Structure 1
C-alpha cells in the first residue's frame, strides 16, 4: 500500500518580487505550499499566487510590514487562518526571513532615521517576527535568514545595511543553538549582487556597475533571482536537514 508524503508549507517574507518571488516559485515547483508576504503591492503578490496556482501549487499572500512589531500578533492569527483554510495544516515547516530594504549612503552621511529604519526591518523585524511565529513552526522545521555578501566584503555606502546583516548572521547562530532541541535547523543565506529592483535596480540597470561586478566574480556574471531561488529550494530540501548554524554565500564567487 502506498502512502502519500505529507505536504510542507513555507512562509516567505517579501515574496511578491525579486528574490522572494523566485524563492516562492522554486519551492512551489517542488510541491511546497507557499505563503508570501508583501508590504504595499497587493497586485504583485496576487500575481505570484496566480502563477503558483496555475502550475498546480497552493499559495497565499498576506500583508505585512516587518518593521511594525505591533502588527505581528494579528499577522500570526492571519497565518493560522490561511494554514487551516487553504492548506489544511496548523504548522509551518519553513520560514524564510527575506523582506528587506536597502539604503545607500556613506558612513559619514548616514542619518539616524536611515539607521533606525534598517534596524527595524532587518534586525528587530527578523528577531521578533521569528519569535512570534515559533509556536507555528513544526519541530524539525527550518528557518532561513537572508543576509548579504556585503557582510563579508565591503563596498562604500553600505555600512549600515551590512552591519544589520552582520547582526542577522550572529543571530542565526544563536537561533540554531537554542532551537536545536526542537530539531529546527537555522541557517543564513548571503546573496551576492543580483539583478533585481532592490536598491533602485542599480545592479540590473547600470551597465557599467554590472560589468564591474561581473569582472570581480569568479563565474563571470552578476547573479539572477533564479540563482538564489534555486539555492533556497536546495537548503530547504530534506537532504539538507543536517546543515544548521551556517552561513552559505551564493555569489558566484564575488570578491574572492
Structure 2
C-alpha cells in the first residue's frame, strides 16, 4: 500500500530542483499532486509528464508569488484543479518550497531586494498556509522548506536567511495552533543541493561544496524530497514544530 494513497498535495515551485523531486516522490507514494510554477511552463510540464509516465496523478497550477493577489490566484487554480482531479476541494499536504535566493553582499542590499525576498519567501507561504487551512482536513501536513543558513553564517545571504527564518517561525507557531487538529507543521532545511546551476559542473567548486558536509558529496534534490515525503506520511504523525536538518551534516562543523 502506498503511504499517501488517496491524499492530495500542493508543492509550490515544483518545476525544478527540490520541488520537482518532492512532487515526484509524493506522487510515487500515491498522492495527487498540484505542480505549481511561476513562469517556466516547459519545466512544469516536464514534471507533470514525469509523474504521469510513472503512473501518478498530477495537475498544473500557475501563479507568480510575491505580487499582489498571488495567493488568490494560486488558490483559485488549486481548487479548480482539485475539483477536476478528485471531485472535491480538499488538500491534505502543503509543501511551501518556492523561494528566491539573495546572493547580495550586505553593502549592496537594497530595500527593493529585501522586500522581494520577504514577499516570496515569507509573506506568500504565510498567507497560503492561512488560506489552505479552509480546505485541509484534520490530520493534514504542512512542510516548509527552509535553509541550513539559519544555522550557518553566510553574509551574502543575510536577507535571504532572514526571510527563511520567518518561514521557520511559521512552522513553530502554526504547529501549536494546529496541534488539536492533528495537523503537523515542520521545517526541512537543506544545505547545498544540486539545482542544475552551471556551478555544479565546475570540478573545483564541486569539491569545495562536497567537503562542507559530513558525507563529502553534493546533495541531490531527491535527498531532500525523501525527507519531505516521510514528514508527509502518517509515520511522522508525532513530529511537529521542529527544524529538520537535511543538510547532510553541514551544520556539524568542520
CA–CA separation in structure 2 for the residues paired with 1:72 and 1:122: 13
Give the aligned partner of residue 88 of structure 2.
Answer: 89
Residues 162-177 of structure 1 mapped to structure 2, 5 A cutoff: 162-177=161-176
Secondary structure of the structure 2 residue equivalent to 1:216: coil
* 2:227 is the counterpart of 1:218: no
Question: How much is the aligned-residue C-alpha RMSD, in angstroms?
Answer: 1.5
For the 8 Å contact 1:53–1:59, the answer to whether it is kept is yes
| Residue 230 in structure 1 maps to residue 226 in structure 2 | yes
Q: Which SS does the other structure have where 2:155 is aligned?
A: coil
CA contact (8 A) 1:69 1:129 kept: no
1:132 counterpart residue number? 131
1:181, CA displacement in angstroms? 2.0
Runs of 4+ residues deviating >3 angstroms: none
Q: How far off is 1:210 after superposition?
A: 2.4
Please name the residue that 1:28 is paired with: 27
3-state SS, counterpart of residue 192 of structure 2:
coil
Among residues 196, 201, 207, which one is paired with 1:205 in the alignment? 201
CA distance in structure 2 between the partners assigned to 1:7 and 1:167 by the alignment: 32
SS in 1 for 2:92: strand
The TM-score normalised by the length of structure 1 is: 0.93
- In the alignment, the residues of structure 1 paired with residue 202 and residue 87 of structure 2 have an alpha-carbon distance, to the nearest angstrom, of 45
How has the CA–CA distance of structure 1 residues 184 and 203 changed in structure 2, closer, same or farther, with 3 Å as cutoff? farther
**Which deviates further from its counterpart, 207-216 or 180-189?**
207-216
Kindly indicate whether the alpha-carbon contact (under 8 Å) linking 2:70 and 2:124 is maintained by their aligned counterparts in 1.
no
The alpha-carbon deviation at position 129 of structure 1 amounts to 1.3
Instruction: Give the CA deviation at 1:41.
Output: 1.0
CA contact (8 A) 2:146 2:189 kept: yes
DSSP-derived class of the 1:10 partner:
strand
In the alignment, which residue of structure 2 is the partner of 1:251?
247
Deviations 1:101-157 (A, max 9, x none): 111011121111111110000011111111111101121100001100011011231
Q: Give the 5 Å matches for 1:59-70.
A: 59-70=58-69
How many residue pairs get aligned? The number is 249
Q: Which residue of 2 aligns with 1:161?
A: 160
Q: What SS does structure 2 have at the residue aligned with 1:139?
A: coil
Unaligned runs of 5+ in 2: none
Contact in 1 for aligned 2:151/2:251 (Cα 8 Å): no
Deviation at 1:202, TM superposition (A): 6.0
Distance in 1 (alpha carbons) for counterparts of 2:89 and 2:71: 18
TM-score (norm 2): 0.93
Q: Indicate if the aligned counterparts of 1:69 and 1:128 stay in contact, CA closer than 8 A.
A: no
Deviations 1:1-52 (A, max 9, x none): xxxx960011000001111000011111111110011000111111111111
